[in-house]
Structure 1
Amino acid sequence: MTDAAECKPEITEHEQDEAERDDAHLDDIEEGAGCTEIWEHLAEQRDE
């Protein structure tokens, strides 16, 4: 029996590039930030 948590499907280069672009706007947010911090960060970027 295999453990589903150990299953790591291969990610294509195109998928990796797309994934990096999709969350690039969150690069300045500290790891572990909550919804409020993320919302504030996005609102500040929108104002600029």
Structure 2
Amino acid sequence: MTDASETRPDADDDRDDAHLDGVEPGAGCAEIWEHLSERREREEE
């Protein structure tokens, strides 16, 4: 996956969809689920 700043230079943590930063455009359910799971794991550390 690429860095959020590469895919969405206007990304802002206050946006409703900020949790999807770093997800490639056109990603399906499995990719989104994986991204969110990885994010949760990093936040728990």
- Indicate the TM-score class for this superposition, using the shorter chain for normalisation: 0.5 to 0.7
The partner residue of 1:22 within 16, 29, 33 is 16
Whole-Å separation in 1 of the counterparts to 2:40 and 2:18:
14
The partner residue of 2:25 within 14, 21, 31 is 31
Q: Which has the higher contact order (CA 8 A, sep 6+)?
A: 2
Q: Which amino acid aligns with 2:27?
A: A
Query: Whose Rg is larger?
Result: 1
Whole-Å separation in 1 of the counterparts to 2:17 and 2:39:
14
More helix by share: 1
Q: Please tell me whether residue 46 in structure 1 is matched to residue 40 in structure 2.
A: yes
Instruction: Count matched residues.
Output: 29
Residue identity (%): 69
